Homo-oligomer: A and B are copies of this chain.
Amino acid sequence: VGTQARYRYMELAEQLLGRIEDGTFRVGDRLPSVRELKQQTGFSTATVCRALEEVERRGLAEARPRSGYFVLARSKPYFEVPMVSRRVQKPRPATVHALTESMVRGTGQTRLVPFGGAALSPELVPAVQLTRIAREVLAADSRVLFRYSEPAGLMELRRELAKRMLAARVDCSPEQIVVSAGCMDAIRLCLTAVCGPGDVVAVETPTFFGFLQLARDMRMSIIELPTDPTTGLDLDALERSLNRYPIKALLVTPSFQNPTGALMPEQNRRRLAALAGKHELAVIESDVYGELPFNGQRQPPVAAYDEQGWVMYCSSLSKSLAAGLRVGWTAPGRFLEPVRHLKLSTSICSPSFNQLVIREFLQSGGFDRHLRRLRGSLMRNMSATLDAMRRHLPAEIRVSDPRGGFLLWAELPATVKSDALYHAAKDAGVSVLPGAICASNRRFDSAIRINCGYRWNERMENGMRSLGQLCSRLSAAAREGS
């Protein structure tokens, strides 16, 4: 290859990189094909291919077989990411922010612009296939509506779940799995198996508000551990706390954490599994967003690195397929027997119809096809959301930069209180999740969580514009007040 050819492919690569940086090509977009680039530039196939490979080498695009190159995350995030305070407060009885319950009741109101929930848009789920499978399950044997199933779940479903876990490098037999009514039910089973009222449970901060509700309703104490919006739980803080307090369990979401979207790096996952064994800590791992990395590279869960069974893996299909069916599961490691007992004594068994629909869908191979499409859609939705945030929200906000899932976490100016914004936005027809409910202290009173599970459209754009106007108004009011 001569000097000129080398120059040519670099020139083309730089052009493509520039158009990614300036937003011409956005995250999730397909880059022009080899044929198109040859026509546009007159370069040879080899030169064009090397240019595209260079873009990929820099981590800004990925090749997908028979589909072309797709833009990955942007090189320079629009926003700075939120900062983390390393301070750890002492354990205290779990409490819930006054807004939480009304917030939750409101998420069903479909007339609001849906930034508040953590749910997929109806167009993003494979309604036709799943409905066809549901009809087939009914037609095959109507006794499915009447009969009790095995308490731990239908064996044919557990086999499919074990296959998926193996694909995520968690080696677990169907007998080690207990089917549940969604992931929170799995977490409830695990938490009840390992601790009771008054015990200390560690959570990420900010965390999923549902974990705070669960700890409050089970009369537990919590310790809130610093969590980086990019790399997740601070393991140094966890280790210091383990040495100081009698922590019985940890509730953690290593992949695309709710609310930040943080992804725990592999070395941290290894270290967390080792810490669990060393400190005999039950790690309750929620992996509901684990199948949704934008680059398609699924991170093995912490359970994959666990050799002593201290990690209680929990997941569901609610964030990736069908929330309405309420099918989740747990592989609770060394706590299998108490969890099996609890499943039986607290709910007898799970509905067979719901289990069979999921089982048939998984077995059909449709899930992986669906996930490929879904990841691309979510990446584009998130990119569009970030673009709109840049257009409408104050420039000084800090925003997390998730590599998967569909939740964004934004820290607004300190003058904007999330509870006031929540109420004002609701009046303006927009739902948004106030950061205040994601912790028991006031650390996140000016943060919000934004759902990217819906396709961007004019209504969403108007909703974001409203949020921006409300931020300005609340800021101005705060400045006048001070």
Decide yes or no: A147 and B214 within 8 Å by CB, A182-B348, A219-B196 being known contacts: no
Among the listed B197, B341, B350, B353, which residue makes an inter-chain contact with A353, where contact means beta carbons less than 8 Å apart?
B353
Contacts of A216 in B (CB 8 A): 341, 345
**Chain B residue, CB-CB nearest to A121:** B146
Q: How close is A259's CB to chain B, nearest CB, in angstroms?
A: 16
Contact B354 A151 (CB under 8 A): no
What residues of B have a CB within 8 angstroms of the CB of A353 in the complex? 134, 324-325, 353-354
Which residues between 162 and 215 of chain A lie within 8 Å of chain B, taking CB atoms? 181-182, 184-185, 188, 192, 196-197, 210, 213-214
Contact of B127 with A324 in the complex, beta carbons under 8 Å? no
Q: Is the CB of B184 within 8 A of A181?
A: no
Interface size classification for chain A: 35 or more
**Shortest CB–CB separation between residue A154 and chain B, in angstroms?**
10
The answer to whether the Cβ of A236 comes within 8 Å of any Cβ in the partner chain is no
Q: Which of B147, B197, B323, B338 contacts A324 (CB 8 A)?
A: B147
* Distance of A104 Cα from B344 Cα, bound (Å): 9
A135 contacts across to B, CB distance below 8 A: 135, 138
Q: Is the CB of A472 closer than 8 A to any CB of chain B?
A: no
User: Given contacts A182-B348, A352-B324, are A104 and B151 in contact (CB under 8 A)?
Assistant: yes
Q: A197-B196, A324-B147, A353-B353 are in contact. Are A184 and B346 (CB under 8 A)?
A: yes
A169 smallest CB distance to B (angstroms): 28
Which label, helix, strand, loop or mixed, suits the secondary structure of the A interface?
helix
Q: Are A338 and B108 interface neighbours, CB within 8 A?
A: no
Tell me the smallest distance from the CB of A137 to a CB of chain B, in Å: 10
Chain A contacts with B in 88-147, Cβ cutoff 8 A: 101, 104-105, 107-108, 119-120, 122, 125, 127-128, 130-131, 134-135, 138, 142-147
A148-B108 contact in complex given A219-B196, A346-B214, C-beta closer than 8 Å? yes
CA separation between A182 and B151, bound complex, in Å? 13
Closest CB of chain B to A9's CB: distance in Å?
Answer: 46
**A102 → B minimal CB distance (Å):** 12
> Any chain B CB within 8 A of the CB of A469?
no
**Which listed residue (B119, B143, B196) contacts A122, Cβ 8 A?**
B143
A146 with B127, Cβ < 8 A, contacts A347-B185, A352-B324 known = yes
B residues in contact with A324, CB < 8 Å? 143-149, 351-353
A341 to B144, alpha carbons, bound, how many Å?
A: 31
Whole-angstrom CA separation of A338 from B218 in the bound complex: 10
A46 CB, nearest partner CB in chain B, Å: 47
Q: In the complex, A326→B143 CA distance in Å?
A: 13
Which residues of A195-250 are within 8 A (CB) of B? 196-197, 210, 213-214, 216-219
Once A196-B197, A351-B354 are accepted as A-B contacts, the answer to whether A127 and B101 lie under 8 Å apart by CB is no
- Would you call A131 and B122 a contact (CB within 8 A)? no
Closest B residue by C-beta to A150: B108
Q: Which of B197, B213, B323 contacts A148 (CB 8 A)?
A: B323
Q: Is A474 an interface residue (CB 8 A)?
A: no
Chain B proximity of A160: nearest CB distance (Å): 17
For the complex of A and B, list the 4 residue pairs with the smallest distance between their C-beta atoms, beginning with the closest: A213-B345, A131-B142, A188-B346, A326-B351
Which A residues contact B (CB, under 8 angstroms)?
Answer: 101, 104-105, 107-108, 119-120, 122, 125, 127-128, 130-131, 134-135, 138, 142-151, 181-182, 184-185, 188, 192, 196-197, 210, 213-214, 216-219, 318, 322-326, 338, 341-342, 344-354, 357
15 sampled A-B residue pairs with Cβ under 8 A: A104-B344, A122-B146, A127-B142, A127-B145, A134-B142, A134-B353, A135-B135, A135-B138, A147-B323, A182-B347, A184-B345, A184-B348, A213-B345, A217-B346, A318-B348
